[in-house]
Each structure stands twice: as C-alpha cells, then as structure tokens.
Structure 1
Amino acid sequence: MVVLDGGMGRELQRSGAPFRQPEWSALALSEAPEAVVGVHAAFIAAGAQVIATNSYAVVPFHIGEERFAREGQQLADTAGRLARRAVDASAQPVQVAGSLPPLFGSYRPDLFQHERVAEVLTPLLQGLAPHVDLWLAETQSSIAEVRAIHAHLPADGKPFWVSFTLQDEEVDETPRLRSGEPVAKAIEAVAGLGVAAVLFNCSQPEVIGAAVDVTRSVFESLNADIAIGAYANAFPPQPKEATANDGLDELREDLDPPGYLVWAQDWRQRGASLIGGCCGIGPEHIVELKRNLG
C-alpha cells in the first residue's frame, strides 16, 4: 500500500498564495514558490509517500500561448525543484512524480491536438526530468492522448503511471473515460505500453470502484503485474460540458476525512494499492488514509 498526496490548487488558495484564473496553481510557481514547498511539505508530513509536481497548470490552456512558449520549461523546472526541495527536507522516503497534465484542457478530449503534442509536452519533460522519480500522466480523458504522451517520454527508465478521469454521470453500467471510451479498452491499450501503474482520478468516488474492478479483471486476463490506484476529487458530479479548474467548486460535506476513508477502504479491498486524493482532498484526508491504510 502506497499513500499518495492530495490536491495542490485548493491548498495553495487556503494557504493565502495568489490564486486566480487562468493561471490557477501555476501562478504560485513564480509569485509564491515557498507556498508550493509548504503544501508539498504538509502532504509529506501527513504521510504521503509520493507527491506530484505542481506542473498541472503549466500548459498554454492556463498560462497562455505566449507565456508558455517563453517560460514553460522554466516553470516546469521550478515545479520539479520545489517538489524535490520538500522531499530533501524530509526524513521520510518520498518519491516525486512528474505531473503531465492534459495538454489542451482537462475533461476535454475534444480539444486534443495530436500535431501539437511535442510542442507542448517537450518543455514539461525537459524541465521536470532532472527532479522526478517517475512520470504521471494524470486526469487523462482519452486513449489517444496517453499514447501520444508515451511516445514522447524520454528513454530514462523511469516508471510511467497513467491516471484516467471518468464520466461522473454514468449513462450505463460500463465505466467510461470522459471520451466515452470503455475503461476496459483503455486498460488493454495502456497495458501494452508497459505502464507500471494505472490509476483513476479527478472523478467522484462513486464511479471509481467499478473502474478498479474492470482494471483488475483485465490485468488478470493478461497476467499483467501492474499496480492499480485511485485518487478522487471532493466535487459533486461534473457534467460532460464541464472544464476542470474553471472555478473553485463547492465541496461535498460527506467527503470529509472519515467519509473519504470509507471510499478509499473500498478501493483497497477491490485491489487498489496506490491511494491518495485529488481536488479538495487535503492533508487532513491523507492523515486518515495513512493511519488506516498505510
């Protein structure tokens, strides 16, 4: 069992760091780097064994085309350095995951531009590479984007984790990515890429259990030794037209630390061994996970 960290953006906002649209969590990289270190340190102190770099919003979608072209690699490097600083200051063995976000907008597989993947992804990879222990493509909405990201990863031998985001509004009993693709199809696809772990994040906890079940079943049929993980958000169900990080959504009262733990225990029983939190899940939740699962 490995405990992951929680959501960065809301914790930055809670700490008083500058936080506004469209830059979102990327704003603190240049205006409040100490706050970024502080959030990482809080999650480590809570028990996180893996922390993700604050590079999720270092894409043109958030910081604009001109600034990304000018500063994208530098901001990614800063995100990696700050995460590594927090780890080095801790006595705990903690790994740094290089966060590779949706390159053209969260929850929006329709905005994916295959021809621009190298242009947007390369600065992130080059900036983060010296500082990270593994690569984490997170909040992925489609198989196509994961394949494209994998094709551009450096040949550095670092583990590659993929985390998909799921449809919150289930139209049938088949768990699906936000692209509408069945989870089973996505798992079969990434298993062939040599991933070290498959996770599900930035979705309501209610839809994650079924996705974990499908993933475990596919891995068993393939005799694949690949870890399974989950880190849900604390939002109400997000409709198909939603765009992640378009504002600070209200949080569900039932997903306080004890309430979230109930879901995490269910994922653990279903076979997940990497568990943390996404948007709205703070250090107080991670403490509960570490105490009861770690």
Structure 2
Amino acid sequence: MEHALTPHLRTLPFVLLDGALATELEPMGCDLADPLWSAKVLLEAPEKIRTVHAAYLAAGADVVTTASYQATYEGFAGRGLGADAATGLMQRSVQLAREARDAYWSGLAEADRASRLRPLVAASVGPYGAMLADGSEYRGHYGLDVKTLMDFHRPRLAALLAAGPDLLACETLPSLLEAQALVQLLENEFPDAQAWISFSCTDDRHISEGTALDACVAELSPCPQVLAIGFNCTAPRHAQSLLAAAAAVPDHKPLLLYPNSGEGYDAATKCWHGSRDAAGFAASAKGWLEAGARLIGGCCRTGPAEIAALAAWRTTLAT
C-alpha cells in the first residue's frame, strides 16, 4: 500500500496541516452554537466551507481537513435527517475539500506546481464524545466497550471513505480505547484506508482520559495503516514535553501536532481570552520540530495567518 504522506514526508522539513474551520466560519456569518457545530454549515452554506479550504491552501497548507468532525448519523437524526441524507452530507464534506484542492491545483502556474506537492484531503473523524456535544472529547470515560465504539464509527468511516479522501484524520480522541476501536476497524474492515490518530491532551504527558501519550504511540505505531500519531486541540505550552516523550518511543510513527492558538477558553462563559499571535505561533514551531514533529498545523483559534506564518518559516528551512 502506498503511504499517502510519503512524498511529503520525504521532501519537506515538515508537512503543513491547516488550521481551525469554525474560527474562520464564524466571521463569515455562520452561527455554530449548535450540537452539529461546523457540520451545521454543510446544511446551510456549504460554499463557505469550500472558501475556508481555499484560504488554507493559498496560505500553504499541504493537507486540508473536511468539515465532518461533528458529522454523525446520530447528530443528523436529531435534525430530522435520515441515513441517506446524512451519508450525503458527510460525503459532501469530502467533495468540498476535494473541489477546493483541485481548483487550487489547476489554478497554479506550471512552475508553481513543480515547486510543491499536490495537497491532500483528510476526512475528519471526530470522537464519540463530539457527537454528545457536551465536552466529552476532552474527558473520555464514556463507559463504552470497543465493540460499541466500533459500531458507532463504522458507518461514518464507510461513508467518508466512499467519497475518496486521501486519508482519515481521526482527531481529538480522548482515550486509547477509542483509538484502538478505530484501528481495529481499519485493519478488519477497511484494509485500503489510511489514517492519522490524534489525541486531545491535558498536560505535559497525558491524553484526556489519563493514559500517557507515549504509551498510546507505542500501542498504535505497529499498525501499518496508521500514518502518523500525535495530538491536537491542546494548549501549545504542553507541546514540547508531549513530543519529547512520544519521540522516545522506539520505532514510532511520524509525530503530528496541531495545537490551539494559546488563548484560554472559559467553559462557563464559552469565550476565549487572550490574543492570537501568528508570528509567535510559528516561532513556537521551531521547538516542536526539534522535539520530533513531522506534521504541524493549528486547531482552535488558528487560521490562515498562522498557517501562512508556518509556511514562510518552513521556506527558510529549505534554503
């Protein structure tokens, strides 16, 4: 099986991921105060999702991630949509990203295409806790077994993969158990699929449910369909320590991170506090790269400015 990320990993100092989707959709007039979160925009204004993907590609992203993080059959059923409609919306999320990627690529001059690799589309697979829309993706402890988690994820994976993404982005996972359920699905039922596995972390060592990140990396690295392992939606102050621990695991998969901007979130008021600093975010990436990261991007409260700053810095590494 050809590794979807191999050309990028072989050629680039690091693979540049995109940034947040919701952070860009809200200023465009999208009300995301909804259990479906950004997946709500698939129903109401899908062209705005394509516009955000295009902005990240223009900023230099090598991978764009679909608006399917909170897209689930259960979530869409809560809006009165049947299975066929839900499948169509999930597949539309992949199509929007592919359309943006293809338009960007065809619009480049031949010399520009020769100087970079064709960007990839990663289909976002959010955790079971994202469907609950109660913050459980940052806690875990669902009280579910592997079989139940496999049953939950199976139809989503089938729908997303049928739309032809380059890989899956299994992200913000709070527990090793859920990652194991996803890997079992890949190995047993989707042998041609590839994915990265990304956890939410709460401190310098542990994923949200309490397992050490390095233990997760050791457990999952032997799976050939797992292309990279790391963390996202995590405060950047924890990044270097988490990476250092993961990098110490023998024969580990390429490490990834796409942390939040560094602003603080107040769950009581549902507001972010602090200020964004794209240049500072990119400056922090020097330490992440030195600690072992091979894929770097942004999560909540990051946008095209942060990705462009990372792209500009990466250019200096290649000279």
TM-score by length of 2: 0.80
Tell me how far apart the structure 2 counterparts of residues 67 and 100 of structure 1 sit (CA, whole Å).
Answer: 22
- 120-129 or 32-41, which moves further after superposition? 120-129
Match of residue 124 from structure 1: 156
Match of residue 90 from structure 2: 76
- 88-97 or 156-165, which moves further after superposition? 156-165
Question: How much does 1:199 deviate?
Answer: 2.0
8 A contact 2:140–2:208 mirrored in 1: yes
Match of residue 223 from structure 1: 251
AA paired with 1:250? Answer: W
Q: Relative to 1, partners in 2 of residues 1:250 and 1:63: Cα closer, same or farther, differing over 3 Å?
A: farther
AA paired with 1:95? Answer: L
- Is 1:265 matched with 2:286? yes
Question: How much does 1:75 deviate?
Answer: 1.9
8 A contact 1:80–1:131 mirrored in 2: yes
Match of residue 208 from structure 2: 178
TM-score by length of 1: 0.87
8 A contact 2:221–2:251 mirrored in 1: no
AA paired with 1:252? Answer: G
8 A contact 1:209–1:270 mirrored in 2: yes
Match of residue 25 from structure 1: 38
- Is 1:198 matched with 2:237? no
- 151-160 or 193-202, which moves further after superposition? 151-160
Tell me how far apart the structure 2 counterparts of residues 83 and 74 of structure 1 sit (CA, whole Å).
Answer: 14
1:252 aligned residue (274, 277, 281): 274
Q: Which runs of no fewer than 5 residues in structure 2 stay unpaired?
A: 1-13, 106-112, 131-136
8 A contact 1:18–1:31 mirrored in 2: no
Match of residue 120 from structure 2: 95
Moved over 6 A (4+): none
Question: What per-residue deviation string (whole Å, max 9, x for no partner) do you get for residues 190-211 of structure 1?
Answer: 1133321112110100011111
Match of residue 8 from structure 2: none
8 A contact 1:77–1:127 mirrored in 2: yes
Q: Which runs of no fewer than 5 residues in structure 1 stay unpaired?
A: none
Q: Relative to 1, partners in 2 of residues 1:142 and 1:112: Cα closer, same or farther, differing over 3 Å?
A: same
2:173 aligned residue (116, 120, 140): 140
Match of residue 129 from structure 2: 104
Question: What per-residue deviation string (whole Å, max 9, x for no partner) do you get for residues 115-165 of structure 1?
Answer: 432443123212211321011110111110000011112434343211111
Cα RMSD (Å)? 2.3
Q: 2:141 aligns to what SS in structure 1?
A: helix
Tell me how far apart the structure 2 counterparts of residues 62 and 249 of structure 1 sit (CA, whole Å).
Answer: 24
Tell me how far apart the structure 2 counterparts of residues 82 and 62 of structure 1 sit (CA, whole Å).
Answer: 20
Q: Relative to 1, partners in 2 of residues 1:68 and 1:109: Cα closer, same or farther, differing over 3 Å?
A: farther
AA paired with 1:166? Answer: C
Question: What per-residue deviation string (whole Å, max 9, x for no partner) do you get for residues 213-267 of structure 1?
Answer: 011110xxx334x21111111254569xx6xxx98531531x4101111221210
Larger Rg over CA atoms: 2
2:184 aligned residue (151, 157, 160): 151
8 A contact 1:72–1:123 mirrored in 2: no
8 A contact 1:42–1:283 mirrored in 2: yes
Q: 1:187 aligns to what SS in structure 2?
A: helix
2:260 aligned residue (222, 226, 233): 233
